[in-house]
């Protein structure tokens, strides 16, 4: 009976303490954009006190838990990092962050002689998001794991929202890297030089003939010029 009484007393104490800690938390939300009001998806917001991270979504929106006095660090490749302080003790605090483009981003002569601008950007992005990309996926229920694999599902893993968000981020990251590679080679300057198009006509042509990632990986620079020329001739006939 004494043991039961002690357990009951401990539960009562925890029931009182836990809400006190919960009340000390504040949910910080907001958007991350640059000085031109362009939203920045995949910017990293880090609570320097807890080490927890949040990634902005496609609209530049983020949400992260913090306590009063915590410092939030905001980073995005190609922009000057920023740090803001949490001033509220509870509830929700909105902190919108404007970031400034670095004046000399990846322009060093020694470095750029070894890597292309795309490669330098890609390396910087990989370093920034490595803590997510290197985090292995955990098994999820719902048909993703073959029967008989011998994997034991825990309730946390089975219904983990964070795990699904992590997987989605990895998919988005891979697609973003592919688009960045395409844009690094299929540039307005190159297409305009080959076709002579400018302005809206150039934009329409590039939109109608946007290449796939596989195509760009297969084409060497000289062959890319021929590819653009062929696409341009076919486009004119339309």
DSSP states of the chain: -HHHHHHHHHHHHHHHHHHHHHHTEEEEEEEEEETT--B-TT-EEEETTT--EEE--TTSEEEEEEETT-EEEEE-TTB--EEEE---SSEEEE--EEE-B-TTSS--HHHHTTS-HHHHHHHHHHHHHHHHHTSPPPP-SSSSS-TTS-PPPPHHHHT-HHHHHHHHHHHHHHHHHHHHHHHHHS-HHHHHHHH---HHHHHHHHHHTPPPHHHHHH--HHHHHHHHHHHHHHHHH-
Assess whether pLDDT exceeds 50 at residue 145: no
How much is the average pLDDT of 207-215?
94
Closest residue by Cα to residue 55 from 134, 172, 178, 136: 172
CA 156, CA 163: separation in Å to the nearest integer? 10
pLDDT in tens, 84-121: 999 998 899 999 999 988 754 444 444 445 667 777 78
Confidence of residue 10 (pLDDT cuts 50, 70, 90): low
Q: Please answer whether residues 119 and 185 qualify as being in contact, where contact means their C-beta atoms are separated by less than 8 angstroms.
A: no
Indicate the average pLDDT of the chain: 79
Confidence of residue 154 (pLDDT cuts 50, 70, 90): very low
- Every domain of the chain and the residues it spans: 2-99, 109-237
Assess whether pLDDT exceeds 90 at residue 234: yes
pLDDT in tens, 194-209: 999 999 999 999 999 9
Number of residues assigned to the chain? 238
How much is the average pLDDT of 75-82?
85
Which pLDDT belongs to residue 103?
Answer: 58
How much is the average pLDDT of 133-153?
58
Q: For residue 218, how many C-alpha atoms fall within 13 Å in the half-sphere facing its CB?
A: 6
CA 57, CA 35: separation in Å to the nearest integer? 18
Which pLDDT belongs to residue 11?
Answer: 57
CA of residue 148 relative to chain centroid, distance: 35
Confidence of residue 23 (pLDDT cuts 50, 70, 90): very low
Which of 57-61, 96-100, 176-180 shows the lowest mean pLDDT across its residues?
57-61
Which pLDDT belongs to residue 148?
Answer: 40
Which of 23-37, 158-172, 190-204 shows the lowest mean pLDDT across its residues?
158-172
CA 40, CA 22: separation in Å to the nearest integer? 30
Assess whether pLDDT exceeds 80 at residue 150: no
Burial 115-152 (b: 16+ CB within 10 A, else e): eeeeebbbeebeebbeebeeeeebebeeeeeeeeeeee
**CATH code 1.20.140.10 for 2-99:** no
């Amino acid at each position: 009976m004494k043991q039961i009484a002690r357990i009951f007393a401990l539960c009562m104490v925890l029931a009182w303490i836990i809400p006190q800690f919960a009340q000390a938390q504040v949910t910080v939300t907001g958007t991350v954009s640059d000085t031109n009001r362009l939203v920045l998806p995949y910017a990293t917001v880090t609570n320097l006190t807890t080490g927890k991270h949040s990634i902005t979504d496609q609209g530049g929106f983020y949400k992260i838990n913090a306590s009063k006095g915590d410092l939030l660090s905001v980073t995005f490749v190609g922009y000057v990092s920023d740090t803001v302080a949490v001033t509220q003790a509870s509830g929700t605090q909105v902190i919108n962050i404007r970031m400034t483009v670095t004046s000399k981003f990846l322009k060093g002569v020694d470095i750029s002689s070894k890597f292309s601008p795309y490669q330098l950007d890609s390396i910087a992005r990989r370093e920034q998001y490595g803590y997510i990309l290197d985090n292995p996926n955990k098994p999820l229920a719902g048909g993703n794991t073959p029967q008989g694999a011998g994997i034991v599902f825990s309730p946390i893993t089975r219904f983990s929202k964070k795990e699904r968000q992590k997987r989605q981020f990895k998919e988005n990251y891979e697609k973003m890297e592919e688009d960045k590679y395409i844009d690094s080679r299929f540039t307005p300057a190159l297409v305009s030089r080959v076709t002579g198009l400018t302005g809206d006509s150039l934009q329409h042509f590039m939109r109608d003939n946007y290449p796939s990632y596989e195509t760009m990986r297969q084409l060497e620079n000289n062959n890319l010029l021929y590819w653009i020329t062929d696409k341009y001739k076919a486009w004119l006939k339309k």
